[in-house]
Amino acid sequence: MSLAPYAPLVQRWWPGSTLLDTERLQGGVSADVSRLDLKQADGSNLSVVLRAHGESHSGHTAQLEFDLLDALFSKGLPVAKPLAVDDSKSLLANDYLVLAFVGGSSLIEPPDQASCIERAAEMLARIHQLPVEGLPGLPARHEPLPEVFDYWPQGAEWEALKTHLEQASIEPFSGDDSLCHGDFWPENILWREGRIAGVLDWEDAALGDPLSDLACSRLEFRYRFGASGMQRLTKAYAASLPFDVERLALWQIYVAAAAQCFMSEWGLPAHKERHMRKTALHAIREAGEFLMNGTPFL
């Protein structure tokens, strides 16, 4: 990777430093993420992460991401410390953040799978119990209805459930707002020596119903670890935070419907998309059977 595009950025934030190397890191669909290795003017080495918004970025502004990470870091959550933010587009084509580099891996080896899933659930519950005072203004995420119908799957199979949800008397969210990560899945969790070293990618964070987060994580962990992994995550979360199963079912339908609607835009290999689409539709089916007939789905 050419160093030239990043040299002016390094000089702006670390005058007199030398850019030694760069490495492209795995990021989301809407951001380009790279590690920059520097030798500072005093001779010390420093590694930072450049998170540049892509052309398809639809999440928070760089400044809001910076402010949120700054607040979360100060509250002791394992997030990358934000170091710089720039929305001037004077050095790069798009807005960007510079973050402290957090070492670790998102890979979960089979022998560690059970314990890591449980620790991930405990971290999600910790996020949801974090005091929201002092956080920057985040969008609200309270209700899965009626927006879920914007993502509704095609086919006659789903009409009965759609009618049921349209006619059901569903109590609105009445709890206190929780911080919701918005995309808490295995690739956004860094592990080091069996512990969570970092929770990444807060660009979809919101304030609202924490079950929106749990539903998202259940689906994502099911893609990766199957139904047993999803159930383990749910059980460990419930041990920290009991929840309303009906609202979880509603959110499960929402996140699975949205996933099957948009996953063709994620650039997935064909076999992976087929697996995820099948899993998402099955998740809608399970939650719908619970809401209409009381069939267990956890």
Give residue-wise pLDDT tens across range 84-94. Answer: 999 999 999 89
The CATH number of 4-100 is 3.30.200.20
The pLDDT confidence band at residue 1, using thresholds 50, 70 and 90, is low
Task: Say whether pLDDT at 113 is over 80.
Answer: yes
Position 259 scores a pLDDT of 97
Residues 229 and 113 sit within 8 Å (Cβ to Cβ): yes
Write the CA distances from 196 to 29, 75, 77, 269, 292, integer angstroms.
23, 16, 10, 28, 38
Position 51 scores a pLDDT of 93
Residue extents of the structural domains in the chain? 4-100, 110-293
Among the listed residues 246, 254, 256, 255, the one whose alpha carbon sits nearest the alpha carbon of residue 279: 256
* The model's pTM: 0.94
Class of domain 110-293: alpha beta
The pLDDT confidence band at residue 59, using thresholds 50, 70 and 90, is confident
The pLDDT confidence band at residue 209, using thresholds 50, 70 and 90, is very high
The pLDDT confidence band at residue 289, using thresholds 50, 70 and 90, is very high
Task: Say whether pLDDT at 100 is over 70.
Answer: yes
Residue 192: which H helix or E strand, with range? strand 189-192
Give residue-wise pLDDT tens across range 116-152. Answer: 999 999 999 999 999 999 999 999 999 999 999 999 9
Average pLDDT score over residue span 211-226: 97
Give residue-wise pLDDT tens across range 232-256. Answer: 999 999 999 999 999 999 999 999 9
**What DSSP state is assigned to residue 175?**
S
Average pLDDT score over residue span 21-45: 88
